[in-house]
Structure 1
Amino acid sequence: EAIKDFEGTGIGLMEISHRSKEYDKVVADAVALFKELLHIPDGYSVIFLGGGASLQFCMVPFNLLEKKAAYLNTGTWANKAQKEAKLFGEVIEVASSKDANYTFIPKGYTIPHDADYFHITTNNTIFGTEIHADYDSPVPMIADMSSDIFSRPIDVKKYGLIYGGAQKNLAPAGVTFVIVKDELLGKVTRPIPTMLDYRTHIKENSMFNTPPVLPIYTALQTLKWLKSIGGVPEMYKRNKAKATLLYNEIDRNKLFKGTTAVEDRSLMNICFVLNDQYKDLEDEFYKFATAKGMVGIKGHRSVGGFRASCYNALPISAVEALVAAMQEFEKAH
């Protein structure tokens, strides 16, 4: 409806000036709900940018890396972020689970106290692992939360910057959110191009250039919905219920097995394979599940098997349908 006629203006959301008072309110309301739902303290800014999380892989070190940064390598996207940072200074990989095909979150490493920041990727979509706690870091902690933002409560004050693409839990692709502690900015000595300087977008309230108006508007509707159901705590309760239901079936069903360390299992991306003795049934199960109405459960090409993505918008009925399909397939074999 807003695309056809936005706020009674007579023209559509994607036609109206992004400088109009009607659209200015959209951005202001979205920022306000971000701060309310995540309990973002004073001293942090919320901005909406283009370029996806992948652009943040370079924008973070551009703005924050003066001498050295520390990275935790827990998956494909963490690895890519680390690679980009090496263009700007020394990068210390504090720990990695790459040799184990990223099947667990490393523990027991030391974060260098002289690093400019420590970067983590909280949820690893391809491999199905997730960091479930807010770490205590001796240096500013940067988190890519593209795939689990708003899925569980977080303590924002433990982070210096949180970023993410919107296309999992927030809005269609096209907008990227950044939550940044203002005091971290303006400390690097290198010149920063205007469009890549966080301060540019903070100063202009995400309006330095034409923003992705439709994804931001959609994000606002999603945030309103999230507030209406009870906010992040309620969403966390629902996500845990979905994940528990499916993981219990994976562990119970003799045909299937999980692929990651139990304590690091993701609530968002539940990965599983056929047990070794039933490996030859993989294609058959995929066709069976697809015929039952399952969409998009094939695992990423780099890991194979199956992946049930249980993002915030997915109702528990979808998980129940997949569990029923797994049980029916078990009886047939």
Structure 2
Amino acid sequence: MARRPTIKDIARRAGVSESAVSFALNGRPGVSEETRARIRRVAEELGWQPNSAARALSGERAGVVGLVLARPAHTLGVESFFLQLVSGVQEVLGAARTALLFQVVEDLDAECALYRRWWAERRVDGVLVVDPRTRDPRPGLLAGLGLPAVTVGEARPAPALSSVRADDARAMAQILDHLHGLGHRRIVHVAGLPELAHTARRIASLRAEAQRRGLRPQEVRSVPTDYSDTEGAAATRRVLNEPAPPTALVYDNDVMAVAGAGVAAELGIPVPGRLSLVAWDDSALCRVTHPRLTALVRDTAAFGRLAAEELLAVLGGGQPRVRLAEQPRLEPRESTAPPPPAY
């Protein structure tokens, strides 16, 4: 392996002392502007970069932001949401010459332990916290450590933390407006992990919107899953085999919606002739499935950019605040229609 260039290499090539190189690269006085420019030019030619660990130990920023995901590993490869979110985060961090340290862990305890280790090792300057829980130990832990953080998706963050979020309640209201307006009265929400805060908000919003329209709780309800196509398909099969099956299904992600469409086809239930389908997150899957799936359209990459911008603002000394992402809009497609009169 090629050896990384050092301050000694720069000093030798530039014909100056190592202390002069240190002064020049750290922006300290002690060298002329001409010498400083020569040293920086040589450092660039050699491909030298500051050691992030050494910078952190000296009290400087590490130039790294952390993102931990505590979810079942088998649900990550098929869901496009996090790929789009990370692409938006990386776009902002790349422009700021800040690295993203990403790690998947088995559960919330492991995530908290990782935060403690990163803080002790000064590995990261701050973290983006995803998948807020209804009872979440992470905001209190991060505030206690003094590790800057931005929660992604939390409506009521800890006072010391910033948050970016989408309005899940209004999004669910759009879906219920559409389905109720078509004449659907038996609607099942195939939800994600029930301990996640945004899942709880969606479930509560569905219940409130149904009650506002005078719909019965036993006919409009939520069924939790783990977001995977396997559980999405199993939940679909289960509710469609009930004596009074739903005429509309709302899925918390695109993968479950496509899996549900497959189950309907397997059972001989035409979409949208007897069953309407809605996906919470739009994707290429929703647009290439036949019939094309009605879905909530939002710029997930922009959501990631907003989260990264807020964290950089916090690292720059900004005060904690809550920022609202652009409201998603429902795009009706061929998978939703009025239910047949017999249903």
More helix by share: 2
Task: Identify whether the pair has TM-score above 0.5, normalized to the shorter chain.
Answer: no
CA radius of gyration, larger in: 2
* TM-score when normalising by structure 1: 0.33
* TM-score when normalising by structure 2: 0.32
